[in-house]
Structure 1
Amino acid sequence: MAVCDFNMCFTFVWAGWEGSAHDTRIFNEALRRPELNFPHPMGGKYYVVDAGYPNINGYLAPYKE
């Protein structure tokens, strides 16, 4: 999993998960573990994530019908 800022610079990378791990599992684990220093959106902002991630407060995934 990787996070980029608006300048296309990586701000977080977490490698090493097996290929069969779902994006949501990795994302939830990154949110759960404070020692990873996962960058959370601040001040009413949000991150745009792809369809493999959940729509939760601060993270906006595409609408699924």
Structure 2
Amino acid sequence: MAANDGLWTIRDVAAYLRVPTETLYRWRKVKYGPPAARVGRHLRYEPEAVRSWVRQQAAA
């Protein structure tokens, strides 16, 4: 996973969640899934925000 800036790429998140990148794009379109920030043309994810989102889903 990307360690250069501390943020994860969409591929990193897909690997962590074990879902295809297309699933993350679809979730984003319907306002579901872990929060992402757009950096230029790219999506970036804060690792702790992804982990927090997973914990919330497990608790629901």
Structure 1 and Structure 2 fold alike (TM over 0.5): no
Q: Which has the higher contact order (CA 8 A, sep 6+)?
A: 2
* Greater per-residue strand proportion: 1
- Calculate the TM-score normalised by the size of structure 2: 0.29
